[in-house]
Amino acid sequence: MLGGLHVPSDGLAKAHRAVIALMARATERGAQFRGSTRVLGVEQRGGRVTGVTTADGVVPADVVVSCAGFWGPEVGAMVGMSVPLLPLAHQYAKTGQVRELVGRNTERSEAGLPILRHQDADLYFREHHDRIGIGSYAHRPMPVRLDSLDSSEDVSARSMPSMLPFTEEDFAPAFEDAQKLLPALADAKVEEGFNGVFSFTPDGGSLVGESKEVAGFWVAEAVWVTHSAGVAKAVAQLLVDGHSEYDLHGLDVHRFEEVQLDGAYVSETSQQNFREIYDVLHPLQPKESPRDLRVSPFHARQVELGAVFLEAGGWERPHWYEANAALVDQLPAEWTPPAREAWAAKFHSPVAAAEAWRTRTAVAMYDMTALKRIEVSGPGALELLERMTTAKMGKSVGSVTYALWLDEAGGIRSDVTVARLGEQTFQVGANGNQDVALLLSEARRFGLADQVQVRDTTGETCCIGLWGPDARTLVERLSTDDFSNEGLKYFRATRARIAGVPVTAMRLSYVGELGWEIYTTADNGQRLWDALFAAGQDLGVIAAGRAAFNSLRLEKGYRSWGSDMTTEHDPYEAGLGFAVRSATGTFTGSEAIAGRSEETAARRLACLTVDDGESVVLGHEPVLVDGEPVGYVTSAAFGHTVGRPIAYAWLPASAAAVGSSVEIEYFGRRVAATVAAEPLVDPEMARIRR
């Protein structure tokens, strides 16, 4: 053993006593608890929850929160809501008396030694007076079918449906590891144990949110003891204030895509999460299974080009293409990336440098199909978007607007592009499935639900980002429509034909180069891809992947919602004050941010470059000033155009002035970095607007 990490503030709460104390406080304030009362159904009328049916009759309610733990799927089903969690059994055992512990603890302090975790062996330990309790995740995943559990009314401390009989043979290797770690257990025996049932989810996060179909029905599920108080507070804030002070996007029950709600998917991915519970995973660690759930129409061509795929939201997304490997040898000296240390080199390839180079110097095709697209249409569409969005929406057909959705406290719920494709038809480029749920719940809140249609069109369409200085030359070879700078201005959209394929072209670029997002229906995708690829060969066109994409967008200073900013940040802190420009000034969150500005922001999302020019960090690392942690890295990449690693980080405003020195802690090393003026590439917008 080399060492350990002592957390002096670690402690124990007796769940039973804590719950009794909480109930007493809530009762004082008027809450009623009805123990041992079975929920038989959830009543609803006109799309709203109205009550809960129990054996003793209906309890009227305009808000129902299902906190049913691993029974969540059963309660959710009562309103037709998918609750993607898997009940799994997990072993906990107690030894008999351990001589070394005798006399150490009393009734009042039953555990004086620190709680111990041995992550490599998937074990944790605590004292129970003179015994040791051992929890193990080292055993096989043991999924539990709800209908196999004892559902008799007879529940006691000794007999609960969530406590299954201990399977000693599954625990044997864990106990051997425990004895190796704690020599005092050499003569000890396991005296009792149980296989306790609790919830796992496809990505390990809890499930919080309101039903899309039945207003007022909420879930707060897959919440472990570890999260319980925090989730309770956040849910109370959501119910009372409509927003929480905490970023909850990792808990949003609507973050999963339709394919990810399937029972077999939930079962497989949740079991994988059980296996990996204490593991240190690389941030790019690929999901091994299930794969190939969703592929874009370009997939066959991408495979031919040796795409290395990673998965997100069920989508296969190329990170780089081995077909571009030969370009690495052609890279000019200033574009040749320095070698990376082993961890940062994992799931990465120098081919990304070549793809970035071709994007900045010729033209490249990016598969943008996985970008969430939502069609918002109908007589109430404009009003809904006006009331949600920080920018003016009533612009001409063909306009594209970059703007934010805020919560009532001014926190950033999403950043979107809104293209007005018709008088009453808008295409929203969004960040995820939770944005669809948000549009629906806001439509309901504003009384616009029957005047707006909200449709996720991601799967039925596809998109190629065609970007680079030669993008216009390439498109003009295949189209008689006007793609000139004047004909289709920056941040404008038009319907057109390219190689005979009907498309919607939007002139914007997350990588910061001349070009368009070119959308068409899925059936036409492969033909569009083939036409562009063939017609651009002499221009040096390539297919390029996410690794280059992420590097290029950081050079351009474009934020990624969920990593760089969340509801915990306002537009000015995030450097997005320019996106607040509404005509009415009465969008959600407008009152909260009134009077705020970049100058009043106490913290800033800052662009750092790494001083040594080669130490690539990966994100989430602490940032230090004078040896003290003051912030953390949100996104990072090597900037191939600027020849330096880039890290965006949250910093107190006092540390965020351009030129300030900071340090990033990386595997115990202090990496010197400097706050840089942003964006690092093309601040004049000369490359895009021409």
- Of 58 and 685, which has the nearer Cβ to ligand THG? 685
Pick 185 or 371: Cβ nearer ligand THG: 371
Answer yes or no whether residue 491 interacts with ligand THG by CB under 6 A. Answer: yes
Q: How far is the CB of 566 from ligand THG (least distance, A)?
A: 14
Strands (E), 76-173: 86-95, 116-118, 123-128, 131-136, 142-143, 163-165
**Does 517 interact with ligand THG (rule: CB under 6 A)?**
yes
Please state the closest distance from residue 260 (CB atom) to ligand THG, in A. 20
C-alpha 46, offset from chain centre:
32
**Among candidate residues 272, 85, 91, 73, the one with its CA nearest the CA of residue 164:** 91
Contact pick of 50, 336, 431, 526 for ligand THG (by CB under 6 A): 431
457 binds ligand THG (CB under 6 A): no
Binding mask 388-407 for ligand THG (x = CB under 6 A): --------------x-----
Place of tokens 């680079």: 468
Q: How far lies 556's CA from each of 317, 398, 458, in Å?
A: 22, 25, 26
Q: Looking at the DSSP assignment, which residues form a beta bridge with residue 121? A: none
Instruction: Choose, by CB under 6 A, the member of 210, 415, 555, 570 that binds ligand THG.
Output: 415
- Identify the CA nearest to 519 among candidates 529, 534, 533: 529
For ligand THG, the closer of residues 308 and 371 by Cβ is 371
State phi, psi for 429 to the nearest 5 degrees: -95, 120
Q: Judged by CB under 6 A, which stretch of 253-261, 262-270, 411-419, 663-671 contacts ligand THG?
A: 411-419
Chain positions 60 to 119 lying near ligand THG, rule: CB under 6 A, are none
Residue 563 makes contact with ligand THG by CB under 6 A? no
Q: Which is nearer to ligand THG, 461 or 479 (CB)?
A: 461
Q: Which two tokens stand for residue 294?
A: 């969703």
CA distance 287 to 317: 12
CA 359 to the chain's CA centroid: 27
Which listed residue (207, 353, 416, 662) binds ligand THG by CB under 6 A? 416
DSSP state of 619: S
Active site residue 415: yes
Residue 542: enclosing H or E segment and its boundaries? strand 542-544
Per DSSP bridges, beta strands 542-544 and 364-367 are parallel
Residue with smaller CB distance to ligand THG, 216 or 432: 432
Indicate the residue type of 260: Q
Measured from the CB atom, is 216 or 297 closer to ligand THG? 297
Q: Does 426 bind ligand THG (CB under 6 A)?
A: no
Q: Please report, to the nearest 10 degrees, the dihedral formed by the alpha carbons of residues 520, 522, 528, 529 taken in order.
A: 120
Determine which residue in the list 417, 479, 551, 609 makes contact with ligand THG, applying CB under 6 A.
417
Given the residues 92, 124, 490, 632, select the one marked as catalytic.
124
Asked if 555 touches ligand THG (CB under 6 A), the answer is: no
Closest by CA to 235, choosing from 206, 192, 197, 275, is 206
- Smaller CB distance to ligand THG: residue 244 or 417? 417
Which residue in 90, 139, 254, 569 is the catalytic one?
Answer: 90
How many CA atoms lie within 13 Å of 588's alpha carbon, on the beta-carbon side?
27
Question: Which of 199, 417 has the CB closer to ligand THG?
Answer: 417
Instruction: Determine the Cα angle at 582 with ends 580 and 585, to 5°.
Output: 105
**Torsion angle, CA of 390/392/394/395, rounded to 10 degrees?**
-130
Cα distances (angstroms) measured from residue 506 to each of 16, 72, 420, 489, 514: 58, 42, 11, 9, 11
Per annotation, catalytic residue among 252, 367, 415, 470: 415
Which member of 67, 558, 596, 674 binds ligand THG (CB under 6 A)? 558
By CB under 6 A, is residue 125 in contact with ligand THG? Answer: no
Cα gap 561→417, rounded to integer Å? 13
* DSSP one-letter string for 117-142: EEGGGTEEEEEETTEEEEEE--SPPE
- Residue selected from 218, 510, 516, 648 as contacting ligand THG according to rule CB under 6 A: 510
Choose the binding region for ligand THG from 142-150, 156-164, 263-271, 428-436 (rule: CB under 6 A). 428-436
Give me the least distance between CB of 553 and ligand THG, in Å please.
8
| Chain centre distance of CA 272 | 18
Residue placing its CB nearer to ligand THG in the complex, 105 or 431: 431
Instruction: Based on the residue annotation, tell me whether 626 is a catalytic residue of this protein.
Output: no
Smallest distance, ligand THG to C-beta of residue 245, A: 24
Task: Establish whether 90 is a catalytic residue.
Answer: yes
Binding of residue 343 to ligand THG (CB under 6 A) = no
Q: 350-389: which residues touch ligand THG (CB under 6 A)?
A: 371
User: What are the residue numbers of the active site?
Assistant: 90, 124, 415
Residues that bind ligand THG in the complex, under the rule CB under 6 A: 371, 402, 415-417, 429-431, 491, 508, 510, 517, 558
